[in-house]
Amino acid sequence: MLALSAGLVLTGCAGQSEKPEPTTSPVDEGLSLSPASNEAYRCLIEKGWPVTISWDGGVGTDAGDIPDDQYELYRADADECWAPYDDAITNMSTADMKKVYAQELETRDCLIELGYDDIDEPPSEQEFIDAFPGAGRWSAYAASSGVMGMPDSKWREVNEACPQPAWFFGTW
């Protein structure tokens, strides 16, 4: 399941008070499989932060890329860049939650077609809506023990074949 915030391990030098110049180049136009992550990544790049993005939507920095005295400013900018997606999830309409539920069912069917038939039965639509957007929300990927923990190359292949609906939260 995709977390919509950047996971960071930061260490660095004190003494700088301006934002550092980006030290990484934007990745190819395709960026990641997550439109929400792509937009948050672009936002952080535009604000001058040296972030990277992985194919599966992970946005972050390498240890030491952001000096300790810059961390609060970076965190504020990251929160601002992710805010539209966090707000969209928090304030998602019931109709959109129903769309997400239908997409999760499609993803489940897709995973089963690929041979991952160890997926727990989904909750009812109403149970899904009642749990949304909490951490306990059912997802096809989280409900399958077969897809979790596979090698990265296989993980990418499966995710490209059966996209995770969470990648599109806030980007309808």
In the chain, the number of structural domains is: 2
Mean pLDDT, residues 26-32 taken together: 59
Do 105 and 163 lie in one domain? The reply is yes
Distance from C-alpha of 27 to C-alpha of 55, rounded to nearest angstrom = 10
pLDDT band at 122 (very low <50, low <70, confident <90, very high): very high
Name the maximum alpha-carbon separation found in the chain: 55
Can you give the pLDDT at residue 165? Answer: 83
Can you give the pLDDT at residue 169? Answer: 65
Considering only residues 79 and 58, tell me which one the structure prediction assigns the higher pLDDT: 79
**Structural domain that includes position 74:** 7-91
Domain-terminating residue out of 91, 108, 138 = 91
Residues 139, 63 contacting (CB under 8 angstroms)? no
Answer whether residue 27 shows pLDDT above 70: no
Do 11 and 85 lie in one domain? The reply is yes
Considering only residues 18 and 98, tell me which one the structure prediction assigns the higher pLDDT: 98
Do 21 and 87 lie in one domain? The reply is yes
Answer whether residue 1 shows pLDDT above 50: no
In this structure, is residue 1 part of a structural domain? no
- Angle of helix 71-90 versus helix 35-46 axis, rounded to 10: 150
Do 112 and 84 lie in one domain? The reply is no
Can you give the pLDDT at residue 15? Answer: 33
Domain-terminating residue out of 70, 91, 112 = 91
